[in-house]
Each structure stands twice: as C-alpha cells, then as structure tokens.
Amino acid sequence: MVEERLFARYELESPLGLERAATVIAGEQSSGTFLKLPGETDSLRARSGARIEEIVERTVLSAPGLPCRHAGARFHRGEMVLSWPLENMGASLTNTLATVAGNLFELAEVSALRLTDITFPPAFARAYRGPAFGVAGTRRLAGVEQRPMIGTIIKPSVGLSPEETAALAKELAEGGIDFIKDDELQGNGPHCPLAERVRHVMRALNDHAERTGKKVMYAFNITGEVDEMKRNADIVRDAGGTCVMVSLFSVGLAGLAAIRAHCELPLHCHRNGWGLYSRSPHIGIGFRAWQKFWRLAGADHLHVNGIANKFTESDASVIDSARATGEPLFADTHYTAMPVFSSGQTAVQMPETHAALGNADFIYCAGGGIMGHPGGVRGGVESLRQAAEAAMNGIALDDHAAEHEELRQALDLFGARTR
C-alpha cells in the first residue's frame, strides 16, 4: 500500500538557521518535544515523525520580522515544506489544522512563519464531499448563464426591520439584481430576527419570481450554533430561499462541515476577520491554504475581496485568491468554489477582474456601485451588466460607454476614484 502523506509549505524566518528551525517545527508538530523522550524510538519517529521535504534559503536579514529574543542575530528567511503521514491525524480537517498550524508560530526558534499552501492526500476526497453546488449549481438556481452574477449587500448593515429589508430586496429585484446577501453583521438579533426576515424577504422575492420568472438568490446569514444553523437553513429552504451564508471563522471547520452535511442550499461563505490572518506578512495562514480547507468542508462561494478595494490587500493577492478557488484539489475532482468579489466594486473594475480571472464564473458584489449610481438601483445594475458585456467581448469601457448611458454615468462618477 502506498503511504499517503500531507504536505504543507511555509515561509520561514529564524535566527538559528532554517534547518534548525525546520527540525524543531517538525518534531514539535509530530512525535517530538523539547527533549528526547524514551518512548520516541527510531522506529516510532520513522513511522510518525514529520519529514523535512524541502528548504530553500532566500535571504539573510539583520532585523526580524517579529520581535525576537535573539538580539543582534542574523535572520535567515526562505521556504520549507514539511510532510506528515496520514495516520497521524487521519482524514480530519480539524486535526489537520492542529498539525499544520498549531504550536509552531510561537516557537522561540521562529521569528516569522506563514503557512502558504497545503496538499491533501486522496483520503480527504473520500472523507469530505466538498461544495454541493459550486459554480454550476449556483448558476442553475440563479438562472444566470455565461456572464458574471451581479450582486449586492443589504445596507445599512444593521438597523433595518424585516419589513424594511424586504422592501429593499424588492427594489433590488425589480432593478435586475441576480444576488443579494445579508451583511455579516446582520445575524439573528431581536430587531430583525432571521425567521421574520426570511418570511418578509422571500415573500417579496417569490412574488417577483412569479411575475417575471427570475428568482433572485438571497444569502441569508444563518451563522450561529450548529443546531441553530440547521434550523435556520431549513427555515430558508421551506420559504423558497436558494442560499444561506455563514461566517467562516465564527463557525469553524467543524461547523461548516456540519451545515454542509445538513443543508440543501448553496453555502455562501464570508471570510470576515480575514485581516487577522493576512495583514501581517510575517505570521499567519495564507488564503491558498485556507480556501482548500473551506472547499473540502463544503464552501460553494468564497469571498476574495476585490480589485482596487477599500482594504489593504493588493490586486495581485486578490486575483491569486480568486484563481485558487477554481484550481483542482485532487486529480479526479475539482471541488470548485465560486469566487465573490466585493469591497468598493463598481463598473470600473469589471474588465480587469474578468481579464485577470480568465472567465466569467464569479459573483460581483457592489454596494455603492449600485445604490450610489445616478440612475438608481436599476441604473447601477445595468452599468455592471454593460461593463461585463464589454469585458467579455474585448471592448474598451469608454467605447462601450459611448453607446450605453448607464455605463457612461458610472464611469463619470466612479472612474476618478478607482482608475
């Protein structure tokens, strides 16, 4: 039988040299500890110990990435790849996370450490079903083929009643929107309880679907305790809803996998809190690694920020994240998730987004880019569709805007801010 192993790639910095630091990390995260124990025999270490697969030193620095007790040292920086036998953790996402991102970031031998990628062995494909809907299932439920899905977020984020939320959803539906989501701050509070919000919103969207034949997808935020999420997912399903949303870091991998096993709707997965892992270049877990965990656990949609966003993430990082969600995890199954662009998005960024991703399989969420449009909601939605049409046909935005009023208005209003 061929041994299945799990591989993890890290950016590593150490005042003691990369080989020394990698050896300590490999021991700490498998069979070893700070001293040799009688039970850690050579045969046990060969069977269960982590292996150093690769070390590439890139530079030596005079100052550490993070505060370090080794004053005056030279800090070696580069990459390392470690591997573990599957038997250590089994095909378990939660226990894998403890292995590849456990008590290694705080080791004294480490002055900076970042998990950048992970490769799961085939056993995880047998243990986890991945996204139930992904791109194809989402398009089918939303009735949108070939072009990007145009979406928005309920604003104000909190404070609206169920009736007011439904009125806004109705306006957005009549304006031609494809997708609406709750803000992540809108949960199940007493001012807008989920059951009431679902009842009023779906009444409006179901009425719109009966009149027009278009069923707008609305992602209701069901984030909560596991049993609560299951009940709320059923409420959305029974009301005719076609999507639910969870906050990934709030529910965790076990919570996501549990709702995936129960829920009959696409899981729109929000990564709020992402800056905790991404803001520092010296410590944390990169999106490429995280999104593999989330896709295996069942994420159908994954937020990736947006080009020229209002946060600190670079455009290159945004695009790399979006591309990662469509890359295969295993040889025979892709477990593809749909990337969601948001954060300060308007018609202006649509062509660059489409070109960088290389396809139209994404949700493009614009708040102010729709509701702040001079033509109102309908004008904002139309401007984004016109921008997508231009992008998909290789037409310059300015040329397309000459014959499309809504796009021209969007470029006049938003162009100077994002170009």
| Contact status, residue 192 vs residue 165, Cβ threshold 8 Å | yes
Among residues 369, 230, 227, which one has the least CA distance to residue 310? 369
From 309-323, 379-393, 404-418, the region with the lowest mean pLDDT: 404-418
Residues 38 and 141 in one domain: no
| Residue 276, helix vs strand vs coil | helix
pLDDT at 32: 64
| Residue 15, helix vs strand vs coil | coil
pLDDT at 42: 75
Q: Where are the beta strands (DSSP E) in 86-148?
A: 112-119
- Sequence-distant (≥ 6) Cβ neighbours of residue 188 within 8 angstroms: 194, 222, 224, 228, 232
> What are the pLDDT digits (tens) for 272-329?
999 988 888 899 999 999 999 999 999 999 999 999 999 999 999 999 999 999 999 9
Per-residue pLDDT band for 417 (boundaries 50, 70, 90) equals low
CA distances from 74 to 57, 78, 106, 113 (A): 13, 13, 19, 16
Residues 305 and 410 in one domain: yes
**Average pLDDT value for residue range 43-69:** 88
> What are the pLDDT digits (tens) for 76-93?
999 999 999 999 999 999
pLDDT at 51: 95
Domain boundary among 104, 127, 150: 127
> What are the pLDDT digits (tens) for 145-166?
999 999 999 999 999 999 999 9
Residues 158 and 245 in one domain: yes
pLDDT at 364: 98
pLDDT at 21: 95
Residue 211: phi, psi to the nearest 5?
Answer: -75, -35
Tell me the CATH number at 76.
3.30.70.150
CA distances from 33 to 23, 97, 100, 381 (A): 11, 19, 16, 58
Residues 119 and 138 in one domain: no
**DSSP 8-state secondary structure symbol assigned to residue 324:** H
Residues 118 and 18 in one domain: yes
| Residue 84, helix vs strand vs coil | strand
Q: What percent of the chain has pLDDT over 70?
A: 97
pLDDT over threshold 90, residue 71: no
Residues 138 and 122 in one domain: no
Residues 332 and 277 in one domain: yes
pLDDT at 17: 95
Residues β-bridged to residue 364? 150, 341
pLDDT at 48: 84
CA distances from 298 to 185, 259, 273 (A): 22, 9, 19
Residues β-bridged to residue 113? 12, 283
pLDDT over threshold 70, residue 34: no
pLDDT at 419: 44
Q: Taking CA 174 as the corner, what is the angle to CA 171 and CA 179, rounded to the nearest 5 degrees?
A: 85
> What are the pLDDT digits (tens) for 214-244?
999 999 999 999 999 999 999 999 999 999 9
Residues 122 and 165 in one domain: no
Residues 197 and 298 in one domain: yes
Mean per-residue pLDDT of the chain: 94
| Residue 79, helix vs strand vs coil | strand
Residues 122 and 140 in one domain: no
Among residues 121, 3, 110, which one has the least CA distance to residue 67? 110
| Contact status, residue 99 vs residue 29, Cβ threshold 8 Å | yes
Tell me the CATH number at 253.
3.20.20.110
Residues 155 and 95 in one domain: no
| Residue 330, helix vs strand vs coil | coil
Domain boundary among 94, 127, 160: 127
| Residue-number span of the structural domain to which 392 is assigned | 134-418
pLDDT over threshold 90, residue 41: no
Residues 395 and 343 in one domain: yes
51-61 and 75-85 strand pairing: antiparallel
Among residues 144, 132, 128, 130, which one has the least CA distance to residue 265? 132
Domain boundary among 127, 147, 168: 127
pLDDT at 124: 97
Structure tokens that stand for 363 in this block: 């949700």
pLDDT over threshold 50, residue 60: yes
| Contact status, residue 188 vs residue 232, Cβ threshold 8 Å | yes
Q: State pTM to two decimals.
A: 0.95
- Sequence-distant (≥ 6) Cβ neighbours of residue 354 within 8 angstroms: 148, 360, 388, 391, 392
The domain total for the chain is 2
- Measured CA to CA, the distance from residue 215 to residue 378 in angstroms comes to 17
pLDDT at 176: 97
Structure tokens that stand for 260 in this block: 């995936």
From 104-108, 297-301, 319-323, 344-348, the region with the lowest mean pLDDT: 104-108
> Of 44 and 116, which is predicted with more confidence?
116
